[in-house]
């Protein structure tokens, strides 16, 4: 975790600093000169569908990931491909090979092929649109909606957004509420869902009021209010609260499927407007920027340009912490010239806080506050010792990487990072 703050597990709207951006409108920055898309990453290869010199439109396919569940990526601008192996910083904190496209500002569009409004047709549209979980996880949505082993009857909408500072979902719901409801209806068809439940924190009264007005005539879509605690946005927590039961591997074991609010808005755009996922709302916030703001951007835009668009850094910034994503689960960045991806929820800038890691005090706070009931410090020690057998016994693979252990640690030990690495060791990644 990139920040070392005084920490607490109960983060109210004010303590979570959401007031910095929650009650503002959405600023648009949709005309970057260049945009960038991954062409190769250490953890993922891509089939590149364009070459240098190609003219592309918004919606043209650029890459298809060579993953077990492939995902299509589309151009977010119309223009010319000027590179397919440009070295660019990625939100993961690594420099990767990227496709570079120079914007011609013509906004020419290649629309998705129209599909029937059936279960199969909507799922195919979602696949062709390249839609993934936009809360940060990035799992392919069309795969999530295909679960032959389980019968689902409930669609759960994750509108919780429990990360401090982030309000992109909250503000998107307020601005695109009708689109969200229509996206929910399409997703219900795709999942054979008889009902949908929108999970939202009770503190978001303005969002609740808007949704209640739109849902008053909707018999099959309802709200479920959650307590204002972290990590209330954890999928397993939401499913347990809504369904009254838990699961071992997937929510569909309880008869439910879960999708982020932003994902459902993107589904509406794909089905109703035949538009692939090429733009998203992100939160720019923290005490290191002059004007915290939610910004609608083209996927592939550089973070530095987005920060400049909001007004830039504060004059007395000095050394700082820069994060792609939220402060609890995001990735620290060396430079602000990283590309925005479909899953980038925020760009956060904080004035550097003095302090260094100390030896473990043995206080047990990391254990007491772990939502999954793990022992983070023991897992870290096992990882440091390269003891895979112990990592397995300590169930490192169950870590949800919420960041609470690092957040609560009085010794400022980077527990989340270490446990996340142990998790990959156990899973053989």
For 121-177, give the DSSP string: HHHHHHHHTT-B-TTTT--BHHHHT--TT----EEEEE----SSS--HHHHHHHHSH
Per the domain annotation, does 385 fall within a domain? yes
Per mean pLDDT, which range of 3-17, 237-251, 321-335, 404-418 is the poorest? 3-17
Q: How confident is the model at residue 1 (pLDDT cuts 50, 70, 90)?
A: very low
Task: Verify that 171 and 218 share a domain, yes or no.
Answer: yes
Task: State whether 316 and 396 are in the same domain.
Answer: no
> Residue 359 domain-assigned?
no
Domain-embedded: residue 230: yes
pLDDT digits (tens, 9 = 90+) for 364-402: 889 888 988 899 999 999 999 999 999 999 999 989 888
- Please, what sign has the CA dihedral across residues 128, 197, 344, 168? positive
Contact 229, 146 (CB under 8 A): no
Domain shared by 244 and 124, yes or no: yes
Packed helices 119-128 and 177-190: angle between N→C axes, nearest 10 degrees:
120
| Mean pLDDT computed over every residue of the chain | 91
Q: What is the pLDDT of residues 356-371, one digit of tens each?
A: 788 888 888 898 889 8
- Residue 90 belongs to a domain: yes
Q: Which of 248, 273, 298 is the last residue in one of the domains?
A: 273
| Nearest alpha-carbon partner for 177 in 206, 140, 153 | 206
Q: How many domains does the chain have?
A: 3
Residue 249: band (very low, low, confident or very high) from pLDDT cuts 50, 70, 90: confident
Tens of pLDDT along 252-298?
899 999 999 999 999 999 999 999 999 999 999 999 999 999 999 99
Asked if residue 313 lies in contact with residue 285, where contact means CB atoms within 8 angstroms, the answer is: no
**217 shares a domain with 243:** yes
Per-residue pLDDT of 165-215, as tens digits, reads 999 999 999 999 999 999 999 999 999 999 999 999 998 999 999 999 999
Q: How many CB atoms lie within 10 A of CB 296?
A: 17
For residue 33, the model assigns a pLDDT of 98
Q: Which domain CATH number covers 148?
A: 3.40.50.11540
Residues 137 and 256 in one domain: yes
Q: Determine whether 144 is exposed, middle or buried from the number of CB atoms within 10 Å of its CB (0-12, 13-18, 19+).
A: buried
Tell me whether residue 384 is in a domain: yes
Last residue of a domain, one of 294, 329, 351: 351
pLDDT the model gives residue 356: 74
In a domain, 167, yes or no: yes
User: What per-residue confidence (pLDDT) applies to 15?
Assistant: 61
Share of the chain above pLDDT 90, in %: 72
Alpha-carbon distance of 14 to 114, in angstroms, equals 44
Same domain, 250 and 291: no
**Position 260 in a domain:** yes
Based on the domain organization, do 251 and 199 belong to the same domain?
yes
For residues 72 and 189, state if they share a domain: no
**End-to-end CA gap in the chain:** 20
123 and 263 both lie in a single domain: yes
308 in a domain, yes or no?
yes
Q: Which of 24-28, 71-75, 149-153 has the lowest mean pLDDT?
A: 149-153
269, 282: one domain:
no
Domain span including residue 408: 365-427
Which residue is it, tokens 């592939």?
300
Strand partners, 332: 323
Residues 50 and 157 in one domain: no
154 and 174 together in one domain: yes
- Out of 239, 273, 307, pick the residue that ends a domain: 273
pLDDT of 52 reads 98
pLDDT of residue 391: 93
């Amino acid at each position: 975790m990139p920040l070392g703050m005084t920490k607490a597990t109960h983060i109210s709207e004010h303590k979570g600093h959401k007031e910095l951006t929650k009650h503002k409108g959405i600023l648009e920055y949709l005309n970057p000169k260049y945009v960038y898309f991954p062409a190769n990453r250490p953890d993922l290869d891509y089939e590149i569908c364009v070459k240098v010199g190609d003219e592309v439109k918004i919606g043209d396919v650029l890459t298809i990931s060579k993953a077990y569940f492939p995902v299509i990526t589309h151009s977010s601008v119309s223009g010319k491909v000027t590179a397919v192996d440009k070295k660019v910083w990625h939100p993961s904190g690594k420099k990767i090979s990227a496709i570079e496209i120079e914007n011609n500002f013509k906004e020419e569009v290649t629309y998705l092929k129209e599909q029937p409004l059936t279960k199969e047709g909507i799922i195919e549209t979602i696949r062709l649109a390249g839609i993934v979980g936009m809360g940060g996880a990035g799992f392919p949505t069309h795969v999530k909606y295909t679960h032959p082993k389980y019968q689902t009857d409930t669609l759960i909408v994750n509108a919780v957004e429990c990360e401090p500072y982030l309000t992109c979902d909250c503000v998107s719901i307020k601005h695109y509420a009708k689109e969200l409801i229509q996206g929910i209806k399409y997703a219900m068809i795709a999942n054979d869902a008889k009902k949908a439940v929108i999970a939202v924190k009770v503190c978001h009264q303005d969002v609740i009021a808007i949704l209640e007005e739109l849902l008053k005539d909707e018999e099959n879509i309802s709200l479920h209010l959650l307590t204002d605690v972290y990590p209330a946005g954890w999928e397993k927590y939401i499913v347990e609260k809504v369904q009254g039961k838990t699961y071992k591997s997937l929510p569909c074991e309880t008869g439910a499927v879960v999708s982020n609010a932003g994902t459902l808005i993107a589904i509406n755009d794909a089905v109703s407007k035949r538009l692939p996922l090429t733009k998203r709302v992100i939160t720019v916030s923290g005490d290191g920027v002059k004007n915290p703001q939610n910004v609608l951007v083209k996927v592939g835009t550089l973070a530095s340009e987005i920060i400049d668009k909001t007004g830039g850094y504060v004059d007395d910034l000095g050394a700082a912490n820069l994060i792609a994503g939220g402060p609890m689960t995001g990735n620290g960045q060396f430079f602000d010239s990283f590309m925005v991806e479909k899953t980038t929820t925020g760009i956060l800038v904080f004035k550097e806080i003095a302090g260094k890691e100390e030896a473990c005090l043995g206080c047990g706070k990391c254990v007491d506050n772990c939502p999954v009931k793990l022992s983070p410090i023991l897992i870290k020690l096992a990882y440091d010792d390269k003891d895979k057998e112990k990592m397995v016994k300590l169930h490192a693979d169950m870590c949800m990487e919420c960041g609470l252990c690092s957040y609560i640690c009085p010794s400022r030990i980077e527990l989340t990072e270490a446990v996340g690495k142990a998790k990959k060791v156990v899973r053989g990644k």
